[in-house]
């Protein structure tokens, strides 16, 4: 088989060569380079020779430890309580040059919870990376279903034979055509604290009852704000894919459903949705991958702040690789991201496989 | 060789037609599309140099500032560096260490009388020289201070920490302004270490221990640094300054619009203040937080790339640029501070009695260059993030500890950066 593939398709391979060559040079080769770099201390610019460091970069990113903090005790052995709060020794006394706790050296608190008098702390070697990981997953988990859902809703709305419907199609599609950099700058103005556009609109709608918020400067709203603008920007593209899917469904099926007297909901459930199956799989996978690659919005609007509430993996990879000239660190994040996306794609493929 | 250049210069006017004998030198410049006259002046400098001698012909290539450092890094990897490099002062040690640049080889006697900022030294040698420096001051109005009964500080008697805090509280209490002070938190990137690390240094801390440049322990997380961090966090908690999400437009015009009472800003933004407020405009020195008033120093400078085949030509160009008349021309065109006092006397803004004269004094008396180490570019990023996080309410000691760990790890993984 293989020999036939190479021999009788010589012209085919020749024509495929430019494409395959480019993919190999710009996607496959860099990936293997990234994996190789992640095992070294490669810098962006340095007169020092590159050294093999094994899995150190992975340990530095993924290292975790659990530590139980006991409260400070007075002479009688009771926990010291001030202002109703149990007092604990500072973590830095354990994590900084304390020979009794070598496994905690250089680690920082990621999160903690109370268990009785004690406080259990989860420490991470790289808290920023851990936060980036959690934020990225949050972003994907919200954006994938919501964006796909809204896009489907819009596609159903504009899949009608009305006068001027192409005007609406163009309007919904417009944010996709505008560069994400421009969109991010515009939304930065919209989210501007104090008398920004969004604050103004909301307080106008509520007759002044709305308290202006610092959308991008508040840890509780920053990621949500980015999610909202990302969905607004990306939804038109997926709407068009849904629309293409909708238009492949044969009108005869709808006619048959109408004759059978099915309601709108039933028609959607038993005609439209099964017809969109393959489109749905495609959209789910595409949105998931795009969402994992979140970068431009973060770079322009928040730089990962405030307090790491919008750190994401790709931003961290770029920040380390280029900003901090640590190519090996950036490569390591890229490899981890690749493994995550690969696993999720395989799971999605398995979940949406054709069942016979 | 110098004689040769001089003779060549003498003949240059008569030989203007025979430029074909000139050897080409490439120059990369960072300010493509800059709003002020800087780019035009650099072009004029190149034209005059080319017309003034017959050995060299400088060909300029301009880049947008945001892409410039990346372009140089990429060119260095590809071995395509130009002969003459334009380099930001604090970045120079990194480029020198990474073998992008070679020592200038200019007689140091020629650099006497310069401000400290424009001379870029690494490992005991001069690698770059600038035609100008920049300085930062508290811009405000005399009438504002008088209204709230605040003493006008001077270079000799700057505000103390308590006086400064008292001034902020008095203005805040009046409710006349949205914020008493604008620090420019909207300007991300190099602005943070440039504008704010002098506060830390005035408290007695630093980004890195400058005696060895091998560790930040104690410098960035010692008692002085923690005191600085607590004060810094207080500014935001008390609502005295706008936070990290400040609108960039407010940063530009907030002081002029009366939103802010004072603004911590560079001399490049000073002329609009003078135009708006006239004699009422005040540029105040940095407060003394305990170890003297400090402001940042060093701006863009010229140097010679390590791979240049004609370093003597590059040197001739840089020596040609280092004349008072160019310093004065750039200063008049851009509002920046000329590198020498003799040039300052010829400028519109920095001559005795000029509207920005005070900045020359600030630069002379308070300027402290950012840590002179190849690791600075990483340390600047770490410092920026630590200050943003503390401003947003992170625990001061833990944040500074984390910054120290990151800086130390970076120094380790770079083998001490060749100090």
Contact pairs from chain A to chain B, CB under 8 Å: 85
Per-residue pLDDT of chain A (356 residues; tens, 9 = 90+): 455 555 667 888 888 999 999 999 998 999 899 999 999 988 888 888 888 988 999 998 999 999 988 888 888 888 888 877 888 888 888 888 888 888 888 888 899 888 888 889 999 999 999 999 999 999 999 999 999 999 999 999 888 888 888 888 888 888 888 999 999 999 998 998 877 899 989 988 988 888 888 899 889 999 999 999 999 999 999 999 999 999 999 999 999 999 989 898 999 999 999 999 889 989 998 999 899 999 999 999 988 879 999 999 999 999 999 888 899 999 999 999 999 999 998 998 888 887 76
Q: What is the pLDDT of residues B174-208, one digit of tens each?
A: 999 999 999 999 888 889 999 999 999 999 999 99
Which of A76-85, A136-145, B253-262, B350-359 is the least confident region?
A76-85
| Mean predicted lDDT score pLDDT of chain B | 89
Q: Is B368 part of a structural domain of the chain?
A: no
- Give the residue from chain A lying closest to B409, CA to CA: A106
B232 pLDDT higher than 60: yes
d(CA B335, CA B283): 14
Q: Which residues of A touch B397 (CB under 8 A)?
A: 90, 92
- Give the residue from chain B lying closest to A302, CA to CA: B245
Q: What is the pLDDT of residue B17?
A: 44
H helix intervals, B184-260: 191-203, 223-237, 248-253
Interface test with A, best of B102, B187, B413, B415 (most A CBs within 10 A): B413
| DSSP-assigned beta bridge partners for residue B136 | B266
If asked whether residues B280 and B335 sit together in one domain, one would say: no
Interface test with B, best of A300, A306, A328 (most B CBs within 10 A): A306
Token pair 């989210």 is at which residue? A191
Q: pTM for the whole thing? A: 0.87
Interface test with B, best of A33, A46, A89 (most B CBs within 10 A): A46
Q: Which residues of B touch A194 (CB under 8 A)?
A: 178, 247
- Give the residue from chain B lying closest to A195, CA to CA: B247
B1 pLDDT higher than 50: no
End position of a domain, from candidates B358, B389, B407: B358
Buried/exposed B206-240: b ≥16 CB within 10 Å, e otherwise: bbbbeeebbbbbebbbbebbbbbbebbbebbeeeb
Asked if B378's CB is within 8 angstroms of A45's CB, the reply is no
Q: Is B363 part of a structural domain of the chain?
A: no
Q: What is the pLDDT of residue A212?
A: 86
Q: Is B18 part of a structural domain of the chain?
A: yes
Q: Is B366 part of a structural domain of the chain?
A: no
pLDDT (average), residues B63-76 = 86
Least Cα separation, residue B43 to chain A (angstroms): 30
Token representation of residue A282? 């495609």
CB B200 within 8 A of CB B382: no
Q: What is the pLDDT of residue B16?
A: 45
Q: Is B365 part of a structural domain of the chain?
A: no
Establish how many alpha carbons lie within 13 A of residue B86's alpha carbon, considering only the half-sphere containing its beta carbon.
26
* Count of structural domains within chain B: 2
Q: What is the pLDDT of residue A6?
A: 58
Phi/psi of residue A118, nearest 5 degrees: -85, 160
How do B300-305 and B125-129 pair as beta strands?
antiparallel
Which of A91-95, B169-173, B223-227, B409-413 is the least confident region?
A91-95
Asked if B188's CB is within 8 angstroms of A108's CB, the reply is no
Residue B153 domain boundaries: 136-296+375-418
Asked if A96's CB is within 8 angstroms of B401's CB, the reply is yes
Q: What is the pLDDT of residues A258-292, one digit of tens each?
A: 998 989 899 999 999 999 988 998 999 899 989 99
Looking up residue B167, the CATH number of its domain turns out to be 3.40.190.10
- Give the residue from chain B lying closest to A57, CA to CA: B413
If asked whether residues B68 and B123 sit together in one domain, one would say: yes
d(CA B233, CA B251): 20
Domain A128-351 has CATH 1.10.3720.10: yes
If asked whether residues B92 and B178 sit together in one domain, one would say: no
d(CA B354, CA B334): 15
Asked if B398's CB is within 8 angstroms of A109's CB, the reply is yes
d(CA A164, CA B219): 67
Q: Is B370 part of a structural domain of the chain?
A: no
Residue B389 contacts A where some CB pair is shorter than 8 Å: yes
Q: What is the pLDDT of residues B82-110, one digit of tens each?
A: 999 999 999 999 999 999 999 998 888 88
Q: Which residues of A touch B243 (CB under 8 A)?
A: 193, 214, 217, 306
How do B295-297 and B367-369 pair as beta strands?
parallel
Establish how many alpha carbons lie within 13 A of residue B152's alpha carbon, considering only the half-sphere containing its beta carbon.
13
Neighbours of B17 (CB within 10 A): 6
């Amino acid at each position: 088989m293989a020999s036939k593939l190479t021999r009788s398709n010589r012209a085919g391979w020749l024509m495929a060569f430019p494409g395959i060559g480019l993919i190999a040079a710009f996607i496959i080769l860099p990936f293997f380079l990234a994996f190789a770099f992640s095992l070294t201390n490669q810098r962006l610019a340095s007169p020092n020779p590159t050294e093999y460091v094994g899995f150190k970069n992975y340990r530095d990113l993924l290292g975790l430890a659990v530590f139980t903090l006991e409260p400070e005790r007075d002479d009688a052995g009771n926990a010291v309580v001030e202002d109703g709060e149990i007092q604990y020794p500072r973590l830095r006394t354990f994590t900084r040059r304390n020979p009794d706790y070598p496994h905690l050296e250089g680690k920082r608190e990621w999160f903690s919870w109370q268990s009785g008098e004690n406080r259990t702390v989860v420490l991470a070697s790289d808290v920023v990376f851990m936060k980036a990981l959690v934020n990225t997953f949050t972003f994907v988990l919200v954006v994938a279903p919501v964006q796909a859902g809204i896009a489907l809703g819009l596609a159903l709305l504009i899949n009608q034979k009305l006068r001027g419907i192409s005007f609406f199609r163009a309007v919904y599609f417009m944010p996709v055509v505008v560069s994400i950099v421009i969109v991010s700058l515009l939304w930065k103005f919209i989210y501007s604290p104090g008398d920004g556009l969004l604050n103004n609109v909301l307080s106008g709608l509520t007759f002044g009852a709305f308290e202006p918020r610092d959308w991008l400067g508040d840890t509780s709203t920053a990621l949500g704000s980015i999610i909202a603008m990302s969905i607004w920007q990306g939804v038109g593209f997926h709407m068009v894919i849904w629309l293409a899917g909708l238009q492949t469904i044969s009108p005869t099926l709808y006619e048959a459903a109408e004759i059978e007297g099915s309601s709108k909901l039933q028609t959607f459930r038993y005609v439209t949705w099964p017809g969109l199956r393959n489109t749905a799989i495609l959209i789910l996978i595409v949105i998931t991958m795009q969402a994992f690659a979140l970068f431009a919005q973060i770079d322009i609007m928040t730089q990962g702040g405030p307090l790491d509430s919008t750190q994401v993996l790709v931003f961290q990879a770029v920040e380390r690789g280029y900003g901090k000239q640590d190519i090996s660190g950036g490569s390591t994040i890229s490899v981890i991201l690749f493994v995550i996306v690969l696993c999720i794609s395989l799971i999605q493929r398995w979940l949406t496989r054709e069942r016979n | 060789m110098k004689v040769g250049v001089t003779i060549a210069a003498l003949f240059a006017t008569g030989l203007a037609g025979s430029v074909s004998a000139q050897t080409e030198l490439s120059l990369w410049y960072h300010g493509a599309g800059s709003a002020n006259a800087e780019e035009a002046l650099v072009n004029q400098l190149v034209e005059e140099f080319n017309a003034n001698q017959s050995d060299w012909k400088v060909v300029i290539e301009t880049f947008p500032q945001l892409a410039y450092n990346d372009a140089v890094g990429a060119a260095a990897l590809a071995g395509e560096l130009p002969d003459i490099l334009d380099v930001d002062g604090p970045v120079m040690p990194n480029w020198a260490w990474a073998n992008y640049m070679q020592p200038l080889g200019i007689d140091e006697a020629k650099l006497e009388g310069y401000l400290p900022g424009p001379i870029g030294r690494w490992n005991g040698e001069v690698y770059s020289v600038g035609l100008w420096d920049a300085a930062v001051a508290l811009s405000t109005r005399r009438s504002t201070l008088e209204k709230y009964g605040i003493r006008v500080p001077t270079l000799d008697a700057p505000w103390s920490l308590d006086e400064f805090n008292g001034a902020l509280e008095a203005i805040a209490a009046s409710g006349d302004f949205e914020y008493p002070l604008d620090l420019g938190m909207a300007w991300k990137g190099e602005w943070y270490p440039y504008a704010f690390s002098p506060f830390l240094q005035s408290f007695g801390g630093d980004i890195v221990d400058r005696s060895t440049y091998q560790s930040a322990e104690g410098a960035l997380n010692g008692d002085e640094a923690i005191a600085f961090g607590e004060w810094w966090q207080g500014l935001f908690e008390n609502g005295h300054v706008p936070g990290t999400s400040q609108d960039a437009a407010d940063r530009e015009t907030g002081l002029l619009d009366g939103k802010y009472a004072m603004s911590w800003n560079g001399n490049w933004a000073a002329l609009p203040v003078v135009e708006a407020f006239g004699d009422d405009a005040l540029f105040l020195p940095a407060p003394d937080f305990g170890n003297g008033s400090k402001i940042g120093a060093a701006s863009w400078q010229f140097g010679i790339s390590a791979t240049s085949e004609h370093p003597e030509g590059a040197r001739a160009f840089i020596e040609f640029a280092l004349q008072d008349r160019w310093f004065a021309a750039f200063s008049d065109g851009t509002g920046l501070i000329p590198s020498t006092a003799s040039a300052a006397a010829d400028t519109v803004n920095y001559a005795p009695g000029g509207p920005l004269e005070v900045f020359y004094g600030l630069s002379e008396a308070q300027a402290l260059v950012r840590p002179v180490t190849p690791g600075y570019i990483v340390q600047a990023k770490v410092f920026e993030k630590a200050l943003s996080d503390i401003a947003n309410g992170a625990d001061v000691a833990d944040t500074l500890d984390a910054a120290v760990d990151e800086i130390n790890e970076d120094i380790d993984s770079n083998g001490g950066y060749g100090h």
